[in-house]
Structure 1
Amino acid sequence: MEQLRLARLGGFEVASTQASGQQFDKHSHDEFVIGANLLGEEQIWLDGRTFSAAVGAITTYNPGAIQGGGARAGQPWRYVSLYLPAPLLAESLGLAQLEFAQPLQHNPVLAAELAQAIELGLSDDAHRRERGEEALIGLLGAVASGARARLPVAADCGQGPITRLQELLASHLAEPPSLDAMALSVGLSKFHLLRVFKRRTGLSPRQWAMQLRTCRAQGLLRQGQAAGAVAHALGFADQSHLNRHFRAAYGLTPGRYQRLLGS
């Protein structure tokens, strides 16, 4: 039985597909297509060439490439896909234009990371979707490098842009800016921003913002404010969302934290 999940995420599409013996006639896409094979083997026809993609393979197709193929009849097949407009992918990597020179790479670790990020992007939870977008943008460089695309050297931009973004995030904790707005605020591509921010802080921008929100939540709870009010003030989806992050950070729920303080 075919199961397809599809979502729009930050200007591009992500999909997760589970099927049996699925086949595609020869076709093309206007966008770049990146796929990761998680179960089964895909037989591929691409611009007159044929090859196989096993579990852990990543496929990278340029816009307009004629492709077709699929899995053998009855064979279970599971894969995830990204569909990225050419200008968006190039801009995300800090390039004027981009072309994949190799359509197939075998990288099970990267394939699993892509699948995990896409699962976040397909979530009903807005915060998980944002984390999925951030994770996928951060993985695009590794995918493009494996496809032998020429990437710019990521120069160290210094602490200034990182500090400016931290100030922006700290002042908008209840409504964090989009990744596009973050990149625009510091004059960097999204891909470059994610790389240098993580290099400097050990966290992605949204992870950094979440730890600060959780820290500020602790301060408000210490003052005796109700957990529901704290969650609302700091932009958590609801109290359970606050509970989840607070417990992950501090090992106990907000309610227990306040009860222990009062004992």
Structure 2
Amino acid sequence: MEDPRESAHFWQAGHLGGLELLSARYIDHRFAPHVHDGYAIAVVEAGAERFRHRGVDHLAPAGSLAVINPDEVHTGSKGHDDGWRYRVFYPETSQIRGLMDELELPQGGMPTFSSSVYRDADLVQTFLALHRLVEGEASALQQQTAWREALLALFRRHAQLPKPGEPGRESRAILLAKDLLRERLAEPPSLEELAAAVNLSPFHFARTFRRATGMPPHAWLKQQRLDQARALLKAGCTPANTAAQLGFSDQSHLTRQFKQAYGVGPGEYRNACARSFKTL
């Protein structure tokens, strides 16, 4: 049974190109290992969050900023007896890429963050004020200006801008396997089928896949289903139809996995996206 003291409010910022935001308090909620296709920038307001990221356990206490790069596996749970309260920004890579030139930042790749937790008091206050600003009734001009200023400060202080990735960084076998899994989300192939399709032994394929993605094939498939579920829900599909289309055993199965990954249920996510769309 969920603790009644827990709460989560998810919405999209219409003035910021549909930027996704979350304001939540969690006590016993545990995020299963998952990834985001964009960044996660979280400001911890109270308590502390504990999470595993890049194979290491981290503690983000009140007054800190936790930053996760796209496609990096991480978890989340309480790091304090009373849980944690935080505000999160989820900018997509396309949204960040579109701002790079405008912010006059060097090109050649996406910003990356080598640390997981930053104790930068000034920057924490900047993002905390920004989140509250977007949640309120501030004008589009004010929100858009504050968003750009906050990102510019974050990137200049803590981000690395890598050189363009070299071709072949991810083996062709893994790329082919990913394509096959995406094509068969509802009825995924077995490990033996995947390995045979890319001419590797099942054990060697499984190890190679985990090394390349940070998770085993079944966990990567689960994340792809959840990503596609977000897209369907955002487009107005009901949770029941979404579950049926993507191979979840039933709607409750989708709900459990969706909330473990994103902190809110699929119905709440769909309704928030619908509200945001109406205000655009």
Q: What TM-score comes out, normalization by structure 2 length? A: 0.48
- Aligned with residue 37 of structure 2, among 24, 30, 39: 30
Distance 2:118 2:91 in 1: 18
Matched, 1:112 2:125: yes
- Could you tell me which residue of structure 1 aligns to residue 109 of structure 2? 97
CA contact (8 A) 1:100 1:148 kept: yes
CA contact (8 A) 1:93 1:140 kept: no
Corresponding pairs, count: 149
- Could you tell me which residue of structure 1 aligns to residue 8 of structure 2? 4
Give 1:96 shift: 4.9
Moved more, 7-16 or 75-84: 7-16
Distance 1:22 1:108 in 2: 27
Give 1:74 shift: 4.3
Distance 2:80 2:124 in 1: 24
CA contact (8 A) 1:104 1:147 kept: no
Aligned-partner SS, 1:115: helix
| 1:84-120 C-alpha deviation (Å, 9 max, x unpaired) | 1112113313245312222221112211221111112
CA contact (8 A) 2:45 2:62 kept: yes
User: 2:158 corresponds to which letter in structure 1?
Assistant: A
Distance 1:41 1:135 in 2: 26
Backbone CA RMSD of aligned residues: 2.2
CA contact (8 A) 2:34 2:73 kept: yes
Distance 1:102 1:88 in 2: 22
State the structure with bigger RCO (CA 8 A, min sep 6), 1 or 2: 2
Distance 1:89 1:31 in 2: 9
- Could you tell me which residue of structure 1 aligns to residue 143 of structure 2? 132
CA contact (8 A) 2:49 2:80 kept: no
Distance 2:41 2:154 in 1: 8
| 1:170-194 C-alpha deviation (Å, 9 max, x unpaired) | xxxxxxxxxxxxxxxxxxxxxxxxx
Matched, 1:55 2:62: yes
Distance 1:130 1:2 in 2: 33
Q: How does 1:1-263 map to 2 (within 5 A)?
A: 1-9=5-13, 10-11=16-17, 12-72=19-79, 74-94=81-101, 95-98=107-110, 99-123=112-136, 125=137, 127-128=138-139, 130-150=141-161
Larger Rg over CA atoms = 1
Give 1:145 shift: 3.1
Moved more, 90-99 or 45-54: 90-99
CA contact (8 A) 1:34 1:83 kept: yes
Give 1:56 shift: 1.5
Aligned-partner SS, 1:14: strand
What are structure 1's unaligned runs of at least 5 residues? 152-263
CA contact (8 A) 2:45 2:85 kept: yes
User: 2:121 corresponds to which letter in structure 1?
Assistant: P
Distance 1:72 1:22 in 2: 11
Aligned-partner SS, 1:40: strand
Distance 2:152 2:124 in 1: 13
Distance 1:133 1:4, change over 3 A: farther
Distance 1:40 1:6 in 2: 20
- Could you tell me which residue of structure 1 aligns to residue 203 of structure 2? none
| 1:218-246 C-alpha deviation (Å, 9 max, x unpaired) | xxxxxxxxxxxxxxxxxxxxxxxxxxxxx
| 1:138-171 C-alpha deviation (Å, 9 max, x unpaired) | 11122223433239xxxxxxxxxxxxxxxxxxxx
- Could you tell me which residue of structure 2 aligns to residue 191 of structure 1? none
| 1:48-87 C-alpha deviation (Å, 9 max, x unpaired) | 1112111221111111100002214741411111111112
Distance 1:108 1:45 in 2: 23
Q: What TM-score comes out, normalization by structure 1 length? A: 0.51
